[in-house]
């Protein structure tokens, strides 16, 4: 069983279920465990193999790191939770785009049996309940060596009335397109339905029953038809622009897929407000003078004000939830903060921000951002959230922009840069005076299925109240 080194026990159990290494007894091999590529997030359908921390023949005890896996979000270390010996590495370091459920390695119980797996090759992973039948079958000839493991083939669609396992994203997609989950063949561990299974079903026209199994077993066509190209590798006509193709990372593929899905399926609308930042900046200066370490940023105040506004207007702290035919309202403000990394954008989450002090929010954001840039976030640190903030204003040159909603959330706040604005200030004698204020533009993107315009306007008014009179955040 596999689990994340840095995740809590609940997440270790979840990762172990998703990894689903099946114990099999073959007539031609000693008792062993096949370790498969796990699905570590609802959006993960494939991963890349990093460095193996154990070599063939090495002893493994619970807590030992076995391998690094690059998921769609981060580079993660995996620990083994069982004792044994590494008998075979099926997928070497550097293996790319390995489908979930593909055998990666073999572990046996007795060190003396390691040599017996030198020529071991793995076929499609079978569900655990079929293993006894496979063990009882007559012994076949020793399998011939193969260059690489064969990806797991899609299982047959679930029978009507039986329990169906599916990722949340797959459930949402199936519900939106009117597909019954028991009509979709799952390719994840334990026949779990993932996003790619729904997409494959949508792309395939209904087929006769006799051809359904063959159609489900057929591999999905690859999008890329050529390897990455470079103009330096061949003579380029003078009128064409020189170029180099940059291979897509797993994270970039997921970003492209999720944001395309968001813009195509979610009815976005946008509201923009200008916030007077003078009082926030003065309070920040005072508080930073009292802190012994670390400094509060403007973004820390934005996170706190957003969380309190979600408490005031809980209808925005919600998500479209078609699998239960409802809008799901969250009872805590878990704020996802967009962080740019070399691999792409990721949104670590500040949990319970409405109840946290500014210093704690600041410390949490700094720690999460540092881990994100090292690809070291655990799944529970970036999965979920009820509201997202994207702050491009910190780069100084972005006055205003609109952000794409992070599904299944119903809203995201885009924060622009600070700017100076001349405003008219009426004097007591009725004459006009002028003053210079520090202002900031924010734009709220909302899902109109969940949040009506009047409700989002109330949220923006509440947000402005906290930002323009920040002492309210401290009460």
Which residues are identified as catalytic?
A: 448, 452
Please check whether residue 209 is in contact with residue 178, taking contact to mean a CB–CB distance below 8 angstroms.
Answer: no
Q: Which residues pair with 24 in a beta bridge?
A: 32
Tokens standing for residue 423 = 């405003």
Inter-CA distances, 124 with 150, 188, 324, 442, Å? 6, 12, 34, 51
Please check whether residue 120 is in contact with residue 153, taking contact to mean a CB–CB distance below 8 angstroms.
Answer: no
Report strand pairing: 411-426 vs 387-391. parallel
Q: What region, left, alpha or beta, does residue 104 occupy, with left being phi > 0 and alpha being psi -120 to 50 degrees?
A: alpha
Task: Using alpha carbons, select from 239, 285, 234, 251 the residue that is nearest to residue 47.
Answer: 251
Instruction: Read off φ and ψ for residue 367, nearest 5 degrees.
Output: -65, -45
Between CA 162 and CA 27 the distance in angstroms is 32
Helix 453-468, helix 278-290: angle, nearest 10: 50
Instruction: Read off φ and ψ for residue 61, nearest 5 degrees.
Output: -125, 160
Q: Provide, for the chain, the percentages of residues in helix, strand and coil under a 3-state DSSP scheme, each rounded to the nearest 5.
A: 35, 25, 40
> What is the number of helices (H) and of strands (E) in the chain?
11, 20
Give the chain's length.
475
Please check whether residue 271 is in contact with residue 446, taking contact to mean a CB–CB distance below 8 angstroms.
Answer: yes
Between CA 81 and CA 297 the distance in angstroms is 41
Find tokens 């007539």 and name the residue: 27
Q: What stretches of 98-208 show up as alpha helix (H) in DSSP?
A: 131-136, 168-176, 195-203
Task: Using alpha carbons, select from 316, 296, 276, 279 the residue that is nearest to residue 413.
Answer: 316
């Amino acid at each position: 069983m596999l689990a994340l080194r840095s995740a809590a026990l609940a997440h270790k159990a979840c990762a172990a279920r998703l990894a689903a290494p099946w114990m099999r007894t073959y007539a031609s091999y000693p008792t062993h465990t096949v370790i498969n590529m796990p699905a570590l997030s609802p959006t993960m359908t494939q991963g890349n193999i990093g460095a193996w921390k154990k070599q063939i023949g090495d002893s493994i005890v619970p807590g030992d790191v076995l391998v690094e896996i690059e998921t769609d979000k981060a580079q993660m270390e995996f620990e083994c939770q069982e004792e044994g010996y590494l008998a075979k590495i099926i997928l070497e370091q550097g293996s790319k785009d390995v489908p979930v459920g593909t055998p990666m390695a073999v572990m046996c119980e007795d060190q003396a049996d390691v040599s017996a797996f030198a020529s071991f090759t793995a076929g499609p992973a079978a569900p655990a309940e079929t293993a006894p039948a496979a063990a009882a079958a007559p012994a076949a000839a020793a399998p011939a060596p193969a260059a690489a493991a064969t990806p797991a083939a899609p299982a047959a669609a679930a029978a009507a009335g039986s329990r169906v396992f599916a990722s949340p994203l797959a459930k949402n997609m199936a519900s939106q397109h009117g597909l019954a989950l028991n009509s979709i063949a799952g390719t994840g561990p334990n026949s779990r339905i993932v996003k790619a299974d729904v997409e494959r079903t949508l792309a395939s026209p209904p087929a006769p029953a006799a051809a359904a199994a063959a159609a489900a077993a057929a591999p999905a066509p690859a999008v890329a038809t050529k390897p990455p190209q470079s103009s330096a590798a061949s003579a380029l006509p003078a009128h064409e622009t020189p170029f180099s193709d940059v291979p897509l990372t797993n994270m970039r593929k997921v970003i492209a897929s999720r944001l395309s899905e968001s813009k195509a399926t979610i009815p976005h609308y946008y509201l923009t407000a200008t916030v007077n930042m003078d009082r926030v900046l003065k309070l920040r200066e005072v508080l930073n003078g009292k802190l012994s370490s670390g400094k509060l940023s403007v973004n820390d105040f934005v996170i706190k004000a957003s969380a309190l506004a979600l408490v005031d207007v809980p209808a925005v702290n919600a998500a479209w939830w078609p699998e239960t035919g409802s809008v799901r309202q969250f009872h805590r403000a878990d704020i996802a903060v967009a962080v740019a990394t070399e691999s792409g954008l990721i949104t670590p989450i500040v949990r319970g921000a409405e109840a946290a002090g500014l210093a704690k929010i600041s410390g949490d954001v700094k720690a999460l951002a540092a881990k994100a840039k090292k690809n070291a976030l655990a799944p529970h640190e970036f999965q979920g959230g009820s509201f997202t903030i994207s702050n491009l204003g910190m780069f100084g040159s972005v006055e205003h922009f609109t952000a794409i909603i992070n599904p299944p959330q119903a809203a995201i706040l885009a924060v622009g840069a600070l700017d100076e604005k001349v405003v008219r200030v009426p004097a007591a004698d009725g004459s006009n005076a002028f003053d210079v204020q520090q202002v900031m533009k924010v734009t709220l993107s909302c899902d109109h299925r969940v949040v009506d315009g009047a409700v989002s306007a109330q949220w923006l008014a509440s947000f402005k109240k906290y930002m323009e009179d920040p002492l309210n955040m401290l009460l």
